[in-house]
Structure formats: C-alpha cells, structure tokens
Chains A and B, each alone.
Chain A
C-alpha cells in the first residue's frame, strides 16, 4: 500500500510538472499568436503617422499628423463615410424587421406551407442568377446609381431568418397567448412582446447585418457605376488603393499615397472598433447558438 501510494505521488508530481510545462508553452504560444495578429494594425498605424518614403518597421518614422489631416479634410472621404452610415442604419433596420416578421410567422409549426417557404428562402441562400442578371434587375427597377441599390438587394438574409426563427421557437408561448386573449393583434405582439423578449438574438443579428453592410463593396461596385457621390467608404478606399501607380508621375507622390492610404484605413476602422465590445458580447453568442442548432 505504502509503495503504491508513493508511486502515485511520484507519478502525480511528474504529471503536474508536465501539465505546468504544457500550460506555460500554451500561454507563450498564444501570446505570440496574439502579437502576430495585432502587429499589422500597429504597422498600418505607424505608416499613417509617418512621413513619406520612410522604411517602417512597426513604429512611426518622421512622426507627422499630415496624413490624418489630409484624410480628415477630404470631403469625399466624409461623404463616403456618411453614405456608409446611412446604408448601415437603414439597411439593418429594414432587413432585421423584415426577417423578424417572416421568422415570427414561420416559427408557428402549423403555418401554411411552412416547409415550402423555408425551401423557397434556402434556394436564395445557395443559388444566384449571377452578376449580370442581378445588375439588370436592379437597373430595370431604376435603382442603379442610388443608395437604394446598396440596401434593397441585401434585405433578405436567410441565415438571420433561420437564427431568429429557432430563437422564437424556443420562447415560452404563455405571454403571447395571454396578450392575444387581451385583444392584442399580431403586430402589437411582435413589437411589444416578441421583439423585447428576443433582444439577445436581435442584437446579434443586427450587428451581423450592420457589419456585413459596412464591409460590403460588391453591391456598390456593381450597381453604382461612376456615381461616386454614393460610393460607400469601403469602395471609396478601394478606389484609392487601386489608383494605378502610373497616374502618379512623381515617385514621392506615390510614396505619400501609401501613408494617406494607411490613414484612411485607420480612420475607417474606428466605427468597427467602437462597436466591437458589443459585438464580442452578442455576436459570439449568436454564432454559437447557430452552430449548436445547425
């Protein structure tokens, strides 16, 4: 008995040592990964704070605020940011409301043609007419060159519909039933009872939609053509990045472009950084809910 106990403690202490080593290596490795993940941000910030023509290694050289001043005094940049905000706010409210309403109806197990309607939406998720047909429809509706082209084609978000529907299916029915006995109509039930009760889900879906709309530039690329006054921030910056180098004849100008580009990028990610704590709170939850419910 004594020997066995002794063996066990030796084994235990070896195990503890091994686990401690594992944990140490793990912490160090993750610290390195986090730094590698973070360094590109630091670098772009440094370029934005540097004078042109310097070799930048993660820290500013020839510190200057000129690039930020340039970007912040660029009317086009502010207009593009305004368009992006407009599209994100209107697009998110419209899309989430429309998807929530549909999810409400489809969350009823006996809703007529429920399965068929779900298939109808899933087809949207997995097949598309393609760029040219999409463009022709938007164009025939007279939406090209207007910000509506950035909002209306993105209203249907099938994944959100599925997420909201499974959330609503999990809610207790009593409140809804007692409200309908009290004479509330479906619209009142949706806005006054279901929406407040689904806040965690609605918040994560809204953030999901807002981030998608903020980042998307394909719609603008396809539907806005040369109507630059409605370019959202993403496309505005992309156009700046893709300015052919040969249009900038002087080498110094070309170099300055990199620094201004970096400043644009830093300013443009500020809104995302501001909502990021919220995103972390809700978004990851929403994703895991989705992953579990499949």
Chain B
C-alpha cells in the first residue's frame, strides 16, 4: 500500500497497453521453457551423477545424493585443468593474432577509390562468415590434407608431408588460421561503418596541411575509430572462455585432444559421447565455465559503457 503511487502508474501502463501484453508472452514462454528452466538444472552439478538414462528427470534427480565431489574433481583433476588451459591459450591466440587484422582490412577497403572493386573485395572477404564450421573444416581438410597444396609444396621443397589435422603441435595454429579465414572479413564491417562516419572535412584539412595517406590514417582514421576498437576489444575479451565449440568440435580428433580439447568439447564428451555419461561432472564443468563467462561479459559491458558510452545492451 505504501507504494500506491508507483502501483498506479504501473496499473495505468497495464491499462493502456493491455491489448499488447499477449504479444510479448510467446517470446517469454520460449525463453522460460528453453533457457530459464534449464538454468534450474545447474543443481545437477551438486549431485552424484544422476542416472537420467534409467529414470525420468525428476526421479533420477531425487534418487542421487547431494555432493561437492564434482567441484573437487574439477579443481584438482590435471586433465580438466589442461582443457581449461587449452581454452585460454586458443582464445588468447585468437585475440592477439586476429583482433588487429579486421581493423587493417577496414582501413584498406575504405581507402579504395573504385566503388566496384571495393564491392567485389567485400563480397569475397565477407563470404566465409556465412558458411558453417563443417564446411570450413571440410574446405581446409583439402588444403592441409596429405595431397593438398601445402603438403605438395613442402614435398616439392624437399620436406616431408605432414598430417596437419592430426598433429597436436599444429592444432591451435590451424584453429587460428581457420577462424581468421572465416571471420576477419566479416569483423571488419563494424570498422568500415565507423570509418565511413568520419567527417570528410577532417581529411580535407589534413590534405591542405600536406599530410600523405599514411599520415592521414595514423592521425585521423585510427584515432576516430578508437572508441569502436575499444568496444570491440572489451567485448572480445568478455568472450574469453568461449574458444568456439562448433569450430573446435568439428576439427578435433583423438590425435589432437591433448592440445585441442577445450571446455566446451569436454563438457559435451563427458555428458554425451563417452561410454558412461557423467552428467554431474559435465554440468559442474559447464557451470564453472558459465559463471566465469558471465562475470567476464558483465564486466566487459560495464567497462565498455563506462569508457565509451556503448555496450552490447
């Protein structure tokens, strides 16, 4: 009763838009069923491996014991720790090597004089983004395969053919190369948009001052798109724990597990494809990953908003 005034305004809103309320209900129902309901399932992480194959979900849940064992394993098992390490290494490699490239590409594309050529280049470099990881991996199987051009070249130069896709030492580099081929072009779109919105008068003034192209890029283009670069970098770091499940799962095989298994693929393997599913441990590892990601993403959004006024939401 004490919040009567607030309640009235809320009531007024409801009254005014009551015919629109049903429009938001289906979306909320889908979110409730397929996103919020599974969130209650994280309790499985605190259970001693419920037997979902034998009983229905609730019975299996009730029948199994409460335990913290899953988390003890998670923080002490050297195998799991090595997969966490793989995740971080692959993610950091992707950021360090790949993050600057779309910026350079965007600058190059926006410097083009010919509209037609610019369209053509964009059409080609954006394309791989729209293919599934399965297709990308298949395409590169034929590039890096035993009879592919890379091995043919190395053999022609007197080297030996390497089974790249099954070589633990190569795996992470291949992840970076494939990821770069797929996403560099597409990631440049945000920077192209930012560069297009720079006031042309700045360039005119620089030209009158006698600044050459490189000078213009360094002292006008890059500083002008710095806010975009910062937002993109912060957001990218927010997704540090996500080394790319669909990509790595499609590339991984038993030979490359040691350097290539990441948290996502391990959670899948534990829950679904090992002979005996360990749902409890799988959920615990997933939960650990999810919580760290959540913290990273929330902080990323916070810093991004604070620094530039722009966040993901």
Whether A137 touches B33, Cβ cut-off 8 Å, given contacts A56-B149, A132-B271, is: yes
Q: Interface-forming stretch among A68-76, A196-204, A280-288? A: A280-288
- Do B34 and A131 have beta carbons less than 8 Å apart? no
> Does more than half of chain B's interface fall in helix, strand or loop, or is it mixed?
helix
- Do A280 and B126 have beta carbons less than 8 Å apart? yes
Residues of A within 8 A of B28 (CB): 102, 117, 120
- Do B124 and A37 have beta carbons less than 8 Å apart? yes
Residues of B within 8 A of A117 (CB): 24, 28
Selected from B39, B111, B231, B279, the residue in CB contact (under 8 A) with A129 is B39
Whether A265 touches B27, Cβ cut-off 8 Å, given contacts A132-B286, A287-B189, A288-B193, is: no
Residues of B within 8 A of A44 (CB): 138-139, 142
Interface residues of A in 253-294 (CB under 8 A from B): 255, 258, 261-262, 264-265, 268-269, 272, 276, 279-280, 284, 287-288, 291-292, 294
- Do A131 and B17 have beta carbons less than 8 Å apart? no
With an 8 A cutoff between CB atoms, is B67 at the interface? no
CA A258 – CA B147 in complex, angstroms?
10
Whether A237 touches B298, Cβ cut-off 8 Å, given contacts A55-B147, A131-B271, A211-B130, is: no
Residues of B within 8 A of A288 (CB): 189-190, 193
With an 8 A cutoff between CB atoms, is B173 at the interface? no
- Do B134 and A121 have beta carbons less than 8 Å apart? no
Select from chain B the residue with minimum beta-carbon distance to A12.
Answer: B210
Select from chain A the residue with minimum beta-carbon distance to B253.
Answer: A242
- Do B246 and A56 have beta carbons less than 8 Å apart? no
Select from chain B the residue with minimum beta-carbon distance to A16.
Answer: B212
- Do A110 and B13 have beta carbons less than 8 Å apart? yes
Residues of A within 8 A of B120 (CB): 34
Whether A33 touches B193, Cβ cut-off 8 Å, given contacts A99-B27, A112-B13, is: no
Q: Interface-forming stretch among B40-48, B73-81, B83-91, B92-100? A: B40-48
Select from chain B the residue with minimum beta-carbon distance to A21.
Answer: B213
- Do A30 and B297 have beta carbons less than 8 Å apart? no
Residues of B within 8 A of A33 (CB): 105, 108, 121, 125
- Do A132 and B44 have beta carbons less than 8 Å apart? yes
Selected from B37, B185, B213, B253, the residue in CB contact (under 8 A) with A19 is B213
- Do B117 and A27 have beta carbons less than 8 Å apart? yes
CB of B155 to closest CB in A, whole Å: 8
Selected from A23, A41, A53, A137, the residue in CB contact (under 8 A) with B147 is A53
Selected from B109, B122, B181, B310, the residue in CB contact (under 8 A) with A40 is B181
- Please count how many residues in chain B sit with their CB below 8 Å of the partner chain's CB atoms: 101
- Do A132 and B283 have beta carbons less than 8 Å apart? yes
Residues of B within 8 A of A26 (CB): 108, 111-112
Residues of B within 8 A of A146 (CB): none
CB of B158 to closest CB in A, whole Å: 16
With an 8 A cutoff between CB atoms, is A179 at the interface? no
CB of B153 to closest CB in A, whole Å: 8
With an 8 A cutoff between CB atoms, is A1 at the interface? no
With an 8 A cutoff between CB atoms, is B23 at the interface? yes
Whether A18 touches B137, Cβ cut-off 8 Å, given contacts A133-B39, A161-B27, is: no
CB of B238 to closest CB in A, whole Å: 9
- Do B21 and A276 have beta carbons less than 8 Å apart? no
Select from chain A the residue with minimum beta-carbon distance to B119.
Answer: A280
Total contacts A-B at CB 8 Å: 291
Select from chain B the residue with minimum beta-carbon distance to A154.
Answer: B34
With an 8 A cutoff between CB atoms, is B218 at the interface? no
CA A152 – CA B27 in complex, angstroms?
11
Mark B294-313 against chain A: 1 for CB-CB distance below 8 A, else 0.
10011000000000001111
- Do A276 and B127 have beta carbons less than 8 Å apart? yes
With an 8 A cutoff between CB atoms, is B148 at the interface? yes
Selected from B23, B210, B287, the residue in CB contact (under 8 A) with A11 is B210
- Do A112 and B312 have beta carbons less than 8 Å apart? no
CA A156 – CA B293 in complex, angstroms?
20
Interface residues of B in 204-240 (CB under 8 A from A): 210, 212-214, 228, 231
Whether A126 touches B181, Cβ cut-off 8 Å, given contacts A30-B121, A276-B130, is: no
Mark B33-62 against chain A: 1 for CB-CB distance below 8 A, else 0.
111111111101000000010001100000
Residues of A within 8 A of B19 (CB): 185-186
Whether A128 touches B38, Cβ cut-off 8 Å, given contacts A37-B124, A98-B26, A121-B27, is: yes
CB of A164 to closest CB in B, whole Å: 11
Selected from A29, A105, A152, A218, the residue in CB contact (under 8 A) with B23 is A105
Residues of A within 8 A of B310 (CB): 294
CB of A149 to closest CB in B, whole Å: 10
With an 8 A cutoff between CB atoms, is B268 at the interface? yes
- Do B35 and A124 have beta carbons less than 8 Å apart? yes
- Do B17 and A110 have beta carbons less than 8 Å apart? yes
Residues of B within 8 A of A126 (CB): 293-294, 297-298
Q: Can you list 15 A-B contacts (CB < 8 A)?
A: A110-B13, A111-B13, A112-B13, A113-B10, A122-B313, A130-B286, A130-B290, A214-B132, A217-B134, A217-B246, A218-B249, A265-B135, A276-B123, A280-B123, A284-B126
Beyond A102-B24, A258-B141, 8 additional contacts (C-beta under 8 Å) are: A18-B212, A26-B111, A40-B142, A43-B149, A105-B23, A111-B24, A130-B289, A161-B27
Top-10 shortest CB links A-B: A133-B41, A129-B38, A130-B286, A215-B132, A102-B27, A133-B38, A112-B13, A22-B213, A288-B193, A105-B23
